[in-house]
Amino acid sequence: MRAAPRAASAWRSDATAAVVRARPVPPSSPTLKRARVQPLRRRAQFEAVLASPPMVQTAHFALHGRLWSADDAAWRATFGAPGPWLGVVVPRRWARRAVTRNAIKRQVRAVAALHPPPAGAWVVRLKRAWPTSEFPSATSAPLRRAVRAELLQLLAQRLPQRLTAHRAQEPAC
């Protein structure tokens, strides 16, 4: 009996995948400008940050945060290495479709990579729904622009202002 010939595989071979990974990054690539922001993954990390009140708020987002504390043993046990740690909370209550939730999370991570927060743990939380009358599509370009503009206001403008005011209020030792 003759067997049917095998079809060519649609998957990349290991050799092709190695070539794709080995491509040099062009010098004008935005990935060179991005800082490494560690993701929050464990429940204890989220709980430690969300226990504090929001540091900065906009119409749809709240930013909870805690600056790095090297002398706090519980802090070191929870987070490990210093640096910016970022978590994103987008509840189903405020973004019903998974497509919308994931799009908002991608926008948060992209803005945080371009404007990294200082060393510490930060959680961006969606606190209000985007009106479906204005943004009927889950991933429309106007929704992406509106989300990105508000996140830029949160991370690039209001957070540095708040931290500057906070540092000015601290007593000098």
How far is Cα 109 from Cα 113, in angstroms, rounded to an integer?
A: 6
Indicate the SS3 state at residue 16.
helix
**The pTM of the whole model exceeds 0.85:** no
Task: Confirm if 79 and 119 have CB atoms less than 8 A apart.
Answer: no
Task: Confirm if 162 and 125 have CB atoms less than 8 A apart.
Answer: no
For every one of its 173 residues, what pLDDT tens digit does the chain have, with 9 covering 90 and above?
666 666 555 555 555 555 445 555 455 445 444 558 889 999 999 999 999 999 999 999 999 998 887 777 777 788 877 889 999 999 999 999 999 999 999 999 999 999 999 988 999 999 999 988 888 888 889 999 999 999 999 999 999 888 888 777 776 55
Q: What stretch of H or E contains 65?
A: strand 61-67
User: In this structure, are strands 38-39 and 84-89 parallel, antiparallel, or unpaired?
Assistant: parallel
| 127: CATH | 3.30.230.10
Let me know if residue 140 belongs to a domain: yes
Let me know if residue 4 belongs to a domain: no
Let me know if residue 5 belongs to a domain: no
65 exposed, middle or buried (CB, 10 Å; 0-12, 13-18, 19+)? buried
Question: Which structural domain range is residue 43 located in?
Answer: 38-168
Number of domains in the chain: 1
